[in-house]
Amino acid sequence: MTDVIRRALAEIAHAFRAERRDDALATAAALQSAPFQGQANPLAAADDAAIRALLFASGHPTAVALLAAHDRMPWGVNPVARQVSADHMELYAVCDLMGPDSPIRSAHLRAGLYYQRPNCRYALHSHAAAETYVIIAGSALWTAGDARKLIGPGDSVHHSTYLPHACQTGPEGVVALWRWSGDIGVESYRLHDGQDAFAA
Ligand SMILES: [Fe+2]
């Protein structure tokens, strides 16, 4: 494992440990225990430049570490791609790090990175897995159940199983860590058509 990859995984693990939930601690441990050399980064040029700029502008230590490792982070594979339309895929890009079919293998946990493009609305959706996002760069207006707040670097949000959630970006977009635990099958993922979390 190269130093930049090791440092990036250590910072991701550190951010998850702050959550203190047992599943978060297990995710942190698994991220740091598996051999992972990184993989070629297949992102489109526009996303690649935007993510680099967001990570550069953020003072969050995980953003600093991820910028150094960016060329070897496997962005571009979305675990729920089969559950959503091509239009939906225009909203965001995912770096899938850990899961049953991911570079770091785990049968029970998923984790990775998330980039939502500027001025995009990811409508209400839900899934069986419990989920945590940790924002590391940019900002977003986040809806989780009945709560809605603007969150930025260092903030986290937790979704219990099947809690509907949504995310609206402004002009800068957002980069976050994410993890799933519990029932991590992607089959339960669904968009709540016709329910707009950001309607006035
Ligand atoms: Fe989610």
Query: What CATH number is attached to the domain comprising 88?
Result: 2.60.120.10
From residue 185, alpha-carbon distances to 35, 65, 71, 109, 110 in Å are 24, 30, 29, 10, 10
Q: Is there a domain that residue 192 lies in?
A: no
pLDDT at 200: 45
pLDDT at 83: 64
Q: Is there a domain that residue 196 lies in?
A: no
pLDDT at 133 over 90: yes
Q: Is there a domain that residue 195 lies in?
A: no
pLDDT at 81 over 90: no
**In the numeric block, which tokens belong to residue 188?**
């339960």
Q: Is there a domain that residue 166 lies in?
A: yes
Q: Is there a domain that residue 125 lies in?
A: yes
Q: Is there a domain that residue 197 lies in?
A: no
- CA nearest neighbour of 45 among 76, 69, 81, 66: 76
Give the number of domains in the chain: 1
Helix ranges (H only) for the chain are: 3-17, 22-33, 45-57, 61-69, 86-89
Q: Is there a domain that residue 198 lies in?
A: no
Domain extent at residue 10: 3-187
**In the numeric block, which tokens belong to residue 181?**
């635990």
pLDDT at 66: 97
CA of 126 from ligand 1 middle (Å) equals 6
CA of 57 from ligand 1 middle (Å) equals 25
Question: pLDDT tier at 42 (50, 70, 90 boundaries)?
Answer: confident
From residue 111, alpha-carbon distances to 62, 133, 178 in Å are 14, 10, 6
Protein residues with C-beta less than 5 angstroms from the ion ligand 1: 131
- CA nearest neighbour of 92 among 65, 69, 125, 59: 125
- Looking at 76-85, 94-103, 159-168, which range is the least confident one? 76-85
CA of 125 from ligand 1 middle (Å) equals 7
% of the chain at pLDDT higher than 70: 90
Q: Is there a domain that residue 134 lies in?
A: yes
Query: What SS3 state is found at 99?
Result: strand
